[in-house]
């Protein structure tokens, strides 16, 4: 490692603060913290510049976007397009000693995340550039940076491929759903309450302090829909029990829908955040129908318009709105055909999701070892 050198962070990168002022004419992609998944290094959605009401930062394709608010959430992405972003996001550009893609992984490394999370006494800590710019870091030479980035990018490319495949499968199923049950359906309207119920059974994990719980939280959904195993004594508030063959519908910020499909395989002590509502069909034949109904554009838009709250980032719908959703009653023959076609698709989605989780774990295991030089890339 004789070629590795020590640099201040300010010698490695700079932040761009070119400002965008809201107007009614621009049509730009907008990324807020709510659009970046926690820990997965991926986007969960994209907003539009027409919806913003305050100044933002411009960014370019290939910039690294680092969420400086509560940096322990590890909201870091490599920008896939030009656009604007929240001012709670750093727009990071590599200097001459650093490769831009390597910078992405450098900033996503847990060592940097921990260093950035210095404001421990604050409920809403922010990374401080004034502090971080003088911190010292050891970097490999550029050719090795590029090799490291190539190894990690190859894993992210596979994750992106599987994610796109899942999106395509869900889009196909959603197309069948819309055509058969909305556009070509003249049946009388029913409410969701006629085919499903909210089964929100409360439990207090802290009463079983040493028992492991599978925790379906909002951050867990954002991180590749992966429940986290936690001891009861670390889960301080009441939760709902997760039911097999149910759908978890988030009431928080419905403009960014979080609809979690739970199959028949549910581990013991599975619980979810009370931000989720546990929607359970009376008959299993309505299971996928309800899932795609909750994900449909009409329902998402309806929930978004019905949400209330004190700020744009903490809007919620009332749980009863879920049961009050109206839809044409599904034709039974088409429902059977829909399940026959879409069940294998959803099984493929589940297998892909498991591969994504495995690849993310491999990437996040290799990342600190490569960045630190513990594992070297053969030239």
The predicted structure's pLDDT at residue 309: 76
Tell whether the model's pLDDT for residue 111 goes beyond 90. Answer: yes
Q: Give the torsion sign (CA, 3, 1, 132, 223).
A: positive
pLDDT at 74: 94
Class of domain 5-139: alpha beta
Whole-number mean pLDDT of the chain? Answer: 94
Element (H, E) at 156: helix 142-177
| Token pair 């556009």 in the structure block, residue | 183
pLDDT band at 63 (very low <50, low <70, confident <90, very high): very high
pLDDT reported for residue 340: 98
pTM recorded for the entire structure: 0.85
Instruction: Give the C-alpha separation, 188 to 92, whole Å.
Output: 54
Tokens found for residue 359: 């690849």
Can you tell me the mean pLDDT for 341-357?
A: 95
Site of tokens 């519908």: 249
Q: Please state, in angstroms and rounded to a whole number, the distance separating the CA atoms of residues 136 and 134.
A: 6
pLDDT range class, residue 282, cuts 50, 70, 90: very high
pLDDT per residue as tens digits for the range 124-140: 789 999 999 999 999 99
Q: How confident is the model at residue 68 (pLDDT cuts 50, 70, 90)?
A: very high
Average pLDDT in the 53-80 region? Answer: 96
**How far is it, in rounded angstroms, from Cα 199 to Cα 148?**
48
Please state the φ and ψ torsions of residue 268, each to the nearest 5 degrees: -60, 150
Per residue in 243-279, pLDDT (tens digit) is 999 999 999 989 889 999 999 999 999 999 999 999 9
Question: Residues spanned by CATH 3.90.220.20 within the chain?
Answer: 5-139, 186-330
State the residue for tokens 């449909």: 296
* CA gap 270, 287 in Å, rounded: 19
pLDDT at 2: 78
User: Per-residue confidence at 147, pLDDT binned at 50, 70, 90?
Assistant: very high
276-281 and 196-198 beta bridge pairing:
antiparallel
Residue 121 has pLDDT above 60, yes or no: no
Rounded Cα–Cα distance for residues 145 and 157 (Å): 18
Q: What is the DSSP string of 113-143?
A: HHHH---TTSSS-B--HHHHTT-EEEE--HH
Q: Count the neighbouring beta carbons within 10 Å of the beta carbon of residue 201.
A: 11
* The token pair that represents 104 in the structure block: 């992405």
Quick one: pLDDT at residue 293?
Answer: 98
Mean pLDDT throughout 10-21?
97
d(CA 76, CA 65): 6
pLDDT for the residue 109: 97
- Domain 186-330 fold is Adenine-n6-DNA-methyltransferase TaqI; Chain A, domain 2 (3.90.220)
Confidence band for 20, pLDDT divided at 50, 70 and 90: very high
């Amino acid at each position: 490692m004789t070629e590795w050198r020590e640099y201040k962070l300010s010698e490695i990168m700079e932040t761009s603060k070119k400002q965008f002022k809201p107007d009614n004419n621009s049509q730009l992609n907008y990324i807020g913290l709510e659009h970046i998944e926690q820990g997965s290094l991926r986007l969960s959605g994209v907003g539009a510049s027409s919806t913003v009401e305050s100044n933002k930062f411009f960014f370019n394709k290939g910039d690294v976007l680092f969420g400086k608010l509560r940096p322990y959430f590890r909201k870091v992405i490599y920008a896939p397009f030009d656009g604007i972003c929240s001012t709670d996001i750093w727009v990071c550009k590599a200097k001459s000693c650093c490769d831009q893609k390597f910078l992405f992984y450098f900033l996503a490394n847990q060592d940097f995340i921990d260093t950035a999370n210095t404001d421990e006494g604050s409920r809403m800590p922010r990374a401080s550039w004034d502090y971080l710019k003088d911190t010292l870091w050891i970097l490999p030479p550029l050719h090795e940076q590029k090799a490291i980035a190539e190894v990690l990018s190859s894993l992210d490319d596979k994750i992106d491929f599987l994610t796109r495949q899942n999106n395509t499968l869900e889009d196909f199923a959603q197309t069948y759903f819309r055509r058969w049950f909305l556009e070509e359906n003249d049946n009388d309207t029913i409410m969701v309450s006629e085919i499903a119920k909210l089964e929100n059974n409360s439990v207090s994990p802290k009463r079983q302090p040493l028992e492991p719980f599978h925790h379906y939280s909002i951050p867990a959904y954002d991180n590749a829909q992966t429940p986290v195993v936690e001891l009861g004594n670390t889960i301080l508030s009441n939760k709902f029990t997760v039911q097999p063959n149910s759908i978890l519908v988030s009431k928080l910020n419905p403009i960014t829908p979080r609809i979690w499909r739970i199959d028949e395989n549910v581990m013991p002590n599975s619980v979810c955040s009370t931000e989720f509502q546990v929607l359970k069909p009376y008959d299993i034949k309505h299971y996928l129908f309800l899932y795609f109904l909750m994900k449909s554009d009409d329902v998402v838009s309806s929930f978004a318009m019905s949400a209330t709250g004190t700020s744009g980032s903490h809007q919620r719908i009332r749980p009863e709105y879920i049961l009050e959703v109206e839809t044409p009653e599904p034709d039974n023959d088409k429902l059977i055909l829909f399940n026959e076609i879409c069940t294998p698709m959803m099984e493929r989605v589940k297998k892909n999701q498991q591969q994504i989780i495995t690849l993310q774990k491999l990437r996040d295991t290799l990342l600190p070892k490569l960045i630190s030089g513990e594992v070297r890339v053969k030239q």
